[in-house]
Structure 1
Amino acid sequence: MIDDENETEGRSPGEGSGPEAAGQPSGAEGYRPGKRLTLSHIADQLGISTATVSLALRNSPLVAEETRAKVKRTAEDIGYIYNRSAASLRTARSQIVGVAVHDILNPYFAEAFSALETVLEEQGQMIFICNHRDDVKRQRAFINTLLQHRADGLILCPSVGTTAEEINRLVGQGIPVTLMCREVPKVWAPCILGDDLKGAYQITRHLVQQGHSRIAMVGGRRESSAGRDRHAGWKKALVEAGIDPAAQLDLPELMTQADGRAAVPEILNAAERPTAVMCFNDLVALGMMPMFRRNNVEPGPDIAVTGYDDIDGADARTPALTTVQNHPDKIGRLAALTLLRQIAGERVPNTPIRIEPELRIRESSPRPGQRLGPALTE
């Protein structure tokens, strides 16, 4: 059995440096240059056991708050750094959770991350985050690093190219995994996501009801579940209205504001110019709108534009953007709670949990030729 002192030793200043040179108080008892600091240094200085010091550094309620404060203050004074890796050998917990998404710059994922971070930090979990950019090799390298650090679990918005086999291999090794925002069929892990097919169907049907019959679909990686489902929702609404999806402009793979700006010439030069554009997400829509204006095409009256996700500021544009509220806060919070249940040893069903989307109708999707928002003047 590993004793408390050895399994939770910390780091001392480098070889050849004394306490004063390293910023340590000269009165730190038991300190010698180059000697690795351990719990005993703190315990001897305070006259308590190493077990009490170990518990105090882990914020255990078994130790009085005043004692915890003294231990932490002393540890800081002498430069002791808690060795989490060694402690995890005893507890089988590292208090580390990995979170991987494909675009951390997207405000939608920033909101989801903020929600899950709050839940995980309340339980003392530290978070490693990866922006895998839909590069499955980058994602796999991150997961391997997590395994090397004995991470407690993984929340994953899977990259395009992620297979059920590699997720199931992790689950089979006893590693808690929760998928978020994107589904991978036949995985053994739970998945928390929005109902993308339903949301895309609702917003496309809204455009049809506004009198549009030439409705482009712009964006979405069709190899991801979100891209496939939103595309399927668009097609479903068109077919129900007697509109041929194959006759509509359909531009896949676009995801960012830059992509939205770049798509405008193709939309405006189409043989049958669309009167409405359903964008995969708000970023694509918000990239398009100023570029339409540069080409003397006013978003709203001249071409209806809709987004998806309802990111912060979507309602503050002119015209305010019609979009789908996809509840990143709910998804992030539920993903974190689901992972914590798995870490605690609870068996969690792997049936996907779909959060109900909400259509947000605003000024950017009027009937053809109608103005709902104020006109911009040069």
Structure 2
Amino acid sequence: MITIYDIAEKAGVSAMTVSRVINNTGRISEATRKRVRKVMEELHYIPNSMARSLVLQKTHILSLLITDITNPFYTTIARGAEDAAKRSGFRLLFGNSDEDYAKEKDYVDMILSTRVDGVLFAPTGDHSLEHLQQLQKHNIPFVVLDREVPGIEADVVLGDSKEGARKLVEHLIGIGHRRIALINGSQDVSTARLRHLGYREAHTLNGLPIDDSLIIHVNYRDFHDESALEALLQHPSPPTAIFAANNMLAVGVIKSLRQRGLQVPQDISVVCFDDFVHAEAINPFLTVAAQPAYQFGSLGMQLLIERIESEPARENRKLILPSELLIRASSQALVRA
């Protein structure tokens, strides 16, 4: 195995000089630097990254922990985060919690043992407080992504969930719908709470009563509650439209409606939060509140790198990214008899 002593002997310099070239530290002439690098290339020398991290107290490895890798919103976030990390010379470790607290804990334990320089963290919910406090305890910088956690003060990148939800529901109201169901995530997730508030605000601002029997809370990751959907459809005054609080819920709802012989939007309109990468392939083409997912990842990673490299530490920053209402084929004007 080639060592820095082999490099030093062939380049005619000290081992300390080779170490400084590898770690880009100290004052070394450009000519010496080039000579050492040339010898490293000739001998196919690969620096020991673990040894370097022990010396520099940095690994140049970051972690991205998301909640659902199957959700196009998070896969696009991952792309934005990876691109931003690579531009700044960092490598990225991915983790996927599947909206599961226990799995999230396993990833946090791995992060603590891997000595990453920082974490871009999308929490499973409010109970993620304990995991984020663990990162704080071990002085690992992090940025919270997509969801806030009460009790944690940190850099955060969020979408405007309440405003986006209000716009979606007001769109349905504007085309004649008065009975609008909400299929939402768990109320211990900040985005679900805000989308619920936006739903209620749209009704209040438009003088419509809120029927709590049309509101269902499930797991964000997928829609499996067939009994809840059946209860909505068998309601004495059933909904004419459904607002699904994210794209995965919308797909599950549409699938369940089709299994019952109902067509979207002919029989019932469906709208949702978050777009799809190839949205035109979804039939019907979904009306959505689209969030800039790539920017979530890219900006979150930029904040994280700035947090890692800032001396002295700066104040926390909160970025709120607006959503865009995209009206498509899954929402149809209600024709009253």
User: How far, CA to CA, are the matches of 1:366 and 1:65 in structure 2?
Assistant: 67
Aligned to 2:326: 360
SS in structure 1 at match of 2:252: helix
Q: Displacement, 1:288?
A: 2.4
Structure 1, unaligned runs of 5 or more: 1-11, 13-36, 371-378
Percent identity of the aligned residues?
A: 27
Could you report, residue by residue, the CA deviation over 1:17-49 in whole angstroms, capped at 9, with x for unpaired residues? xxxxxxxxxxxxxxxxxxxx5322444456554
Aligned to 1:190: 155
Could you report, residue by residue, the CA deviation over 1:128-183 in whole angstroms, capped at 9, with x for unpaired residues? 22212233333233223322332211111112243546535634653211000001
User: How far, CA to CA, are the matches of 2:106 and 2:144 in structure 1?
Assistant: 17
Aligned to 1:234: 199
Residues 310 and 325, structure 1, Cα contact 8 Å, conserved in 2: yes
Could you report, residue by residue, the CA deviation over 1:289-312 in whole angstroms, capped at 9, with x for unpaired residues? 243233232101210100111121
Aligned to 1:137: 102
Residues 73 and 293, structure 2, Cα contact 8 Å, conserved in 1: yes
Q: Displacement, 1:95?
A: 0.8
User: How far, CA to CA, are the matches of 1:141 and 1:183 in structure 2?
Assistant: 21
How many pairs were matched up? 331
AA paired with 2:40? Answer: V
SS in structure 2 at match of 1:364: coil
User: How far, CA to CA, are the matches of 1:118 and 1:59 in structure 2?
Assistant: 23
User: How far, CA to CA, are the matches of 2:34 and 2:197 in structure 1?
Assistant: 57
In the superposition, relative to structure 1, how do residues 237 and 66 fare at CA in structure 2: closer, same or farther (>3 Å)?
A: farther
Aligned to 1:118: 83
Q: Displacement, 1:316?
A: 3.3
Q: Given the two structures, how large is their TM-score scaled by the length of structure 1?
A: 0.78
Q: Does 1:302 align with 2:267?
A: yes
Q: Given the two structures, how large is their TM-score scaled by the length of structure 2?
A: 0.87
Q: Does 1:335 align with 2:326?
A: no
SS in structure 1 at match of 2:257: helix
Bigger RCO of structures 1 and 2 (CA < 8 A, at least 6 apart):
2
SS in structure 1 at match of 2:148: coil
Q: Does 1:71 align with 2:36?
A: no
Q: Does 1:268 align with 2:233?
A: yes
User: How far, CA to CA, are the matches of 1:318 and 1:169 in structure 2?
Assistant: 44
Q: Displacement, 1:336?
A: 0.4
User: How far, CA to CA, are the matches of 1:223 and 1:296 in structure 2?
Assistant: 34
AA paired with 1:193? Answer: L
Residues 168 and 188, structure 1, Cα contact 8 Å, conserved in 2: no
Q: Which moved more, 1:301-310 or 1:173-182?
A: 173-182
Q: 1:286 aligns with which of 233, 251, 257?
A: 251
Q: Displacement, 1:105?
A: 1.6
Aligned to 1:250: 215
Q: Which moved more, 1:210-219 or 1:346-355?
A: 346-355
SS in structure 1 at match of 2:143: strand
Residues 158 and 182, structure 1, Cα contact 8 Å, conserved in 2: yes
Q: Which moved more, 1:275-284 or 1:124-133?
A: 124-133
Aligned to 2:125: 160
